[in-house]
Chains A and B, each alone.
Chain A
Amino acid sequence: MKKIWSIGLNTFKESFRKKMMYILLVFALIVIGASKFFGFLTAEEELKMIKDVSFSTIEFFGALMAIFGSLYAISTEIERKTIYTLLTKPISRSDFVLGKFFGMAMILLVNFILISLFFIGLLIFKHSPPDIDVLKTLVLIFVELIMISSITLSLGTFSSDAFNVICSFFLYIVGHLTSYGRELVERTENVILKGLGDMLYTILPNYENFNIRDKVVVGVSVNWAYVGNTVLYGVLYIAIALFIALYFFERREI
């Protein structure tokens, strides 16, 4: 575990020395900060706007960090040949992949906490401290970000950066549209199309499961059972993505 922690910590340090992460963080804070300048709205509408913009910003910029950070986590080690030295140390390839994953998770967590604290501070400034539903929304967004990271990391163990980034963004978009896709498939009477649609619905990541912000913004509460089940779905998906990553990386020639 100490080895995984060491690799994770090194990944974390490396990412925080990259300008891209700071730029994304600053952009996210600017967008959230800008949401309070809707003075022409009523106080209630302004609060909704702040929540809506903030949740979307945390999710979108977090997804960008998850994809770009995880994209380079393994490939940079290979391109810069630092992996030659690393893999000759008493670590297994699994330790390496898991270390990279935990490093990315730490990066996402720190960024997520910074942006969330800014958002919560804004709510408190507007005399509307966050309720439990705001926290539920944030928890689900964070699990979604870790899921995106694990998928990009997994793709990176057997594909090029270009293929990986296209696939990761494709899955990010499709993952938010799966519910619409299923509705379309349910309307069709073609058995093959229906079967294919069901299969894709099961296999593809369903990021829309993690989206409760539309409800929370308008004051609809989401029960803990839903949050728990969605977190469980995310954890299972992350575990499968990591298993695939380990499978391919164990066999990869460097």
Chain B
Amino acid sequence: MSIISTRDLTKIYVLGKNREVVGLNRANLEVNEGEIFGILGPNGSGKTTCLKLLLGILFPTSGEAEILGRPPYDTEMKKQVGFLPENPYYYDYLNGPELLTFYGNLFNIDHGLLARRIDHLLELVELNDARRLALRHYSKGMLERIGLAASLVNDPRILILDEPTTGLDPIGCRDTRNLLLKLKGQGKTILLSSHFLSEVERVCDRIAIFHRGNLLATGTLAELNARYQADNLEDLFVKTISVFDNPETGQPGAAQ
């Protein structure tokens, strides 16, 4: 069952007089409940634009986006969504528990439950020893981990993660990957964007490849590999983008 969907979702950035950039071009995306769905693409391909449109941070030029059948600005829907932005920035004068308490209060979570959940989340992301440390003293990896904890503070049904492993060391990446699989096991739906093909290959049930604001292909890795005659995700990624950039070469798999 589709839990996140976009219909002809388009975003055109107006950068000044007579200058427009297509951030996202008529994207149709369906994410099913309980799956890990990966959005892939080079820099500026429209991944983050798509996520921001889904979350109501940006307004679409045309088309529609829905999460749980509700529009992006719906506060009831947001109660069931957790979000980790790319290179997360937080209030650097707060410490970890203060940050999580602040976000938890925005969900009207009962104080006792929130305190227990914060303890559990700090344990989960291994920041229990840094409870008193202000966020301004956090490393990039620690910020990523507290961001992940913040995205889980409401025990969301849907988790949207923008480049969740940026800044993490190999062990941090592995832990995040294991955590995502564990969360999937708990029935959560995860939509993540990433540059790291190996991460996506290991955890995602289905993927979408974006390039220059266009959604080029969607499906399981096996389906797409077969369609594009690719050996692995890296090969698939390069072929998909090449076909879009050089349509005259006649490679298989025109935009689906």
Show the binding face of A for B, using Cβ within 8 Å: 2-3, 6-7, 10, 13-14, 17, 80-82, 84-92, 251, 253-254
Known contacts A3-B105, A6-B105; A253 and B79 CB within 8 A of each other? no
Would you call A88 and B81 a contact (CB within 8 A)? yes
B212 to chain A, nearest CB (A): 21
Q: Select which of A81, A88, A91, A251 is within 8 A of B55 by beta carbon.
A: A88
Would you call B57 and A254 a contact (CB within 8 A)? yes
The residue on B at minimum CB distance from A11 is B91
Cβ contacts under 8 Å, B88 to chain A:
81, 85
Cβ contacts under 8 Å, B62 to chain A:
none
Chain A CB within 8 A of B78 CB: yes
**Interface hub of A10, A80, A85, A253 (most chain B Cβ within 10 A):** A85
* Cα(A52)–Cα(B57), bound, Å: 49
Known contacts A85-B88, A85-B150; A90 and B93 CB within 8 A of each other? no
* Cα(A42)–Cα(B229), bound, Å: 98
Cβ contacts under 8 Å, A85 to chain B:
83, 85, 88, 90, 103, 147, 150
Interface bits B86-124 vs A (CB < 8 Å: 1, else 0): 011111011000000011011110000000000000000
* Cα(A80)–Cα(B52), bound, Å: 16
Place the interface of chain B in its size category.
Answer: 20 to 34
Would you call B81 and A91 a contact (CB within 8 A)? no
Would you call B57 and A90 a contact (CB within 8 A)? no
Q: Select which of B59, B78, B147, B160 is within 8 A of A89 by beta carbon.
A: B78
Cβ contacts under 8 Å, B102 to chain A:
6, 10
Chain A CB within 8 A of B76 CB: yes
Cβ contacts under 8 Å, A2 to chain B:
105, 108
Would you call A87 and B103 a contact (CB within 8 A)? no
Cβ contacts under 8 Å, A251 to chain B:
59
* Cα(A2)–Cα(B57), bound, Å: 22
Chain A CB within 8 A of B56 CB: yes
* Cα(A251)–Cα(B58), bound, Å: 10
* Cα(A89)–Cα(B73), bound, Å: 10
The residue on B at minimum CB distance from A254 is B57
The residue on B at minimum CB distance from A83 is B57
* Cα(A2)–Cα(B114), bound, Å: 15
Cβ contacts under 8 Å, B93 to chain A:
13-14, 17
Give 8 A-B pairs besides A85-B90, A90-B79 with Cβ atoms closer than 8 angstroms: A3-B105, A10-B102, A13-B93, A13-B94, A80-B89, A84-B52, A84-B83, A88-B57
Chain A CB within 8 A of B242 CB: no
* Cα(A3)–Cα(B81), bound, Å: 17
Majority DSSP secondary structure for residues of A touching B: helix
* Cα(A10)–Cα(B150), bound, Å: 16
Chain A CB within 8 A of B2 CB: no
Supply 13 A–B pairs (Cβ within 8 Å), ascending by A: A3-B105, A3-B106, A6-B106, A14-B91, A81-B87, A81-B89, A82-B89, A82-B91, A85-B85, A87-B55, A88-B160, A90-B75, A90-B78
The residue on B at minimum CB distance from A92 is B75
Q: Select which of B59, B76, B85, B94 is within 8 A of A90 by beta carbon.
A: B76
Interface bits B26-57 vs A (CB < 8 Å: 1, else 0): 00000000000000000000000000100111
* Cα(A17)–Cα(B81), bound, Å: 31
Cβ contacts under 8 Å, B79 to chain A:
90
Interface bits B214-252 vs A (CB < 8 Å: 1, else 0): 000000000000000000000000000000000000000
Cβ contacts under 8 Å, B150 to chain A:
85
* Cα(A90)–Cα(B106), bound, Å: 7
Would you call B85 and A84 a contact (CB within 8 A)? yes
Would you call B106 and A84 a contact (CB within 8 A)? no
Cβ contacts under 8 Å, B106 to chain A:
3, 6-7, 86, 89-91
**Interface hub of B73, B83, B89 (most chain A Cβ within 10 A):** B89
A5 to chain B, nearest CB (A): 8
Cβ contacts under 8 Å, A82 to chain B:
89-91
The residue on B at minimum CB distance from A3 is B106
The residue on A at minimum CB distance from B82 is A88
A253 to chain B, nearest CB (A): 6
Would you call B89 and A254 a contact (CB within 8 A)? no
* Cα(A237)–Cα(B57), bound, Å: 29
Cβ contacts under 8 Å, A253 to chain B:
58-59
**Interface hub of A17, A86, A89, A91 (most chain B Cβ within 10 A):** A89
* Cα(A91)–Cα(B108), bound, Å: 11
The residue on B at minimum CB distance from A86 is B106
Cβ contacts under 8 Å, A80 to chain B:
89
* Cα(A94)–Cα(B55), bound, Å: 16
Cβ contacts under 8 Å, B108 to chain A:
2-3
